[in-house]
């Protein structure tokens, strides 16, 4: 196999040039690795002062909730909620949007998190609407849990407006941390336009319109108005802005204090066993990411480990070659039933989204025509 000359990998981690919104410097280092360098010399004490000022602005002395943290029972949301409550003395209301095709381990982890001492609202959006939006997202965006992604943001903001809790803490900004747009790396808060463009890939209005669902069915999928943000009724931020983000540290804190349990086996398509364990659609999502861009979940996880200094590039290459692009056989029947598709219809969606400059079909499966290097 010969590599496409226009395709290359970060010289430090393994981020691929096909990743949306990624940039590289003259050394061939991606913007995630450049941010890693910046974080080593950043004045984090100044940012912690910003954090304390923000918290004090919204802190309530009457026992009411003063911020919201979206959680799934996984490592990152658990870490944020625990840190805000026990380090900074906040009283967070935690909110979960129930995922489609929920896994037993995910159910156990969110139950353990709540049991560890947090107030919690569990939103179960209209299942008909969730399934339809996910199916449209799968077909039209190559994004099989698009509806749930919307609800992660929209359900949380709806709860915030309902209970008049303006301050919302998400975990990290994935664009900044993992190699995408760096435009918000020095901004403490983000707005609705950034959310729609970066996280929903600009497809929100199209998917909602195509669903044909009415407003009653779309309540938990409805985004806030710009006026709500402009009037400070909603202030959305990332904890990763205020401190050096470390997903492995988050895992250790969540495991010790919030009851997080790992999978007995490695998660589909990667070598780790402690993240994205809540729902089954993540496996087909990362497989489609691999078909669209040439990298999957193992590449992302390896990059995190390289940047935190726990893995060298040669080790990462071996793991990526072993795990990236694994077909999610264990869930195929589940996917067909959920999307109400035949195998031929399902395969046609994969064929529609595959990058044919990077892959060729061999014996009915897409195989890469490149070698990670």
Domain definitions of the chain by residue range: 44-248, 269-368
Per-residue pLDDT of 148-203, as tens digits, reads 999 999 999 999 999 999 999 999 999 999 999 899 999 999 988 888 888 888 89
pLDDT at residue 1, rounded to an integer: 40
Distance in angstroms (rounded) separating the CA atoms of residues 258 and 251:
10
Query: Does the pLDDT value for residue 330 go beyond 70?
Result: yes
- Tell which residue, 324, 337, 339, has the closest CA to residue 287: 324
User: Strands, DSSP E only, in the chain?
Assistant: 67-70, 92-97, 119-123, 167-170, 189-190, 235-238, 359-362, 365-368
Residue pointed to by tokens 């199916």: 135
> How does DSSP classify residue 323?
H
Specify the pTM: 0.93
Phi-psi region of 102 (alpha: psi -120 to 50; beta: other; left: phi over 0): beta
Question: How many C-beta neighbours within 10 Å does residue 2 have?
Answer: 7
* Per-residue pLDDT band at 272 (split at 50, 70, 90): confident
pLDDT at 2: 45
Q: What's the pLDDT score for residue 251?
A: 94
Q: Which runs of consecutive H residues, i.e. helices, occur in 28-172?
A: 31-41, 44-58, 75-86, 104-115, 127-141, 146-162
The pLDDT of residue 195 is 85
- Whether residue 282 has pLDDT greater than 60: yes
Kindly compute the dihedral angle of the four CA atoms of residues 318, 321, 323, 325, in this order, to the nearest 10 degrees: 160
| 85: nearest Cα among 177, 190, 189, 169 | 169
State the Cα–Cα distance between residues 177 and 159, nearest whole angstrom. Answer: 27
Q: Which of 153, 181, 183 is nearest to 168 (CA)?
A: 153
| 3-class DSSP state of 367 | strand
The fold for domain 44-248 equals Rossmann fold (3.40.50)
What's the rounded mean pLDDT across residues 6-23?
Answer: 95
């Amino acid at each position: 196999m010969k590599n496409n000359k226009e395709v290359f990998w970060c010289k430090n981690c393994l981020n691929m040039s096909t990743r949306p919104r990624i940039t590289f410097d003259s050394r061939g280092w991606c913007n995630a690795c450049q941010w890693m360098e910046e974080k080593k010399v950043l004045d984090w004490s100044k940012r912690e002062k910003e954090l304390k000022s923000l918290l004090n602005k919204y802190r309530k002395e009457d026992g009411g909730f003063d911020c919201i943290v979206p959680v799934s029972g996984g490592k990152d949301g658990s870490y944020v909620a625990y840190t805000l409550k026990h380090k900074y003395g906040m009283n967070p209301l935690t909110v979960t949007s129930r995922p489609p095709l929920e896994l037993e381990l995910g159910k156990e982890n969110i139950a353990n998190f709540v049991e560890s001492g947090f107030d919690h609202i569990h939103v179960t959006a209209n299942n008909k609407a969730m399934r339809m939006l996910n199916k449209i997202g799968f077909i039209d965006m190559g994004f099989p849990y698009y509806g749930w992604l919307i609800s992660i943001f929209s359900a949380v903001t709806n709860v915030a407006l309902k209970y008049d809790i303006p301050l919302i803490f998400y975990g990290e900004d994935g664009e900044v941390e993992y190699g995408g747009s760096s435009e918000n790396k020095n901004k403490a808060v983000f707005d609705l336009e950034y959310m729609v463009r970066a996280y929903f890939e600009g497809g929100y209005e199209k998917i909602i319109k195509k669903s044909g669902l009415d407003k009653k069915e779309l309540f938990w999928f409805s985004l806030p108005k710009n006026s709500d943000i402009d009037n400070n009724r909603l202030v959305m931020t990332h904890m990763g802005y205020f401190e050096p983000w470390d997903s492995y540290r988050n895992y250790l804190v969540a495991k010790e204090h919030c009851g997080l349990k790992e999978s007995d086996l490695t998660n589909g398509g990667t070598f780790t066993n402690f993240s994205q364990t809540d729902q089954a659609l993540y496996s087909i999502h990362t497989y489609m990411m691999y078909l669209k861009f040439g990298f999957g979940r193992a590449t992302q996880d390896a990059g995190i480990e390289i940047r935190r200094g726990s893995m060298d590039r040669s080790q990462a290459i071996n793991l990526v070659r072993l795990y990236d692009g694994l077909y999610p056989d264990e869930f195929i029947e589940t996917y067909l039933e959920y999307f109400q598709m035949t195998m031929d219809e399902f395969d046609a969606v994969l064929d529609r989204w595959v990058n044919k400059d990077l892959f060729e079909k061999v014996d009915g499966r897409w195989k890469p025509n490149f070698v990670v290097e």
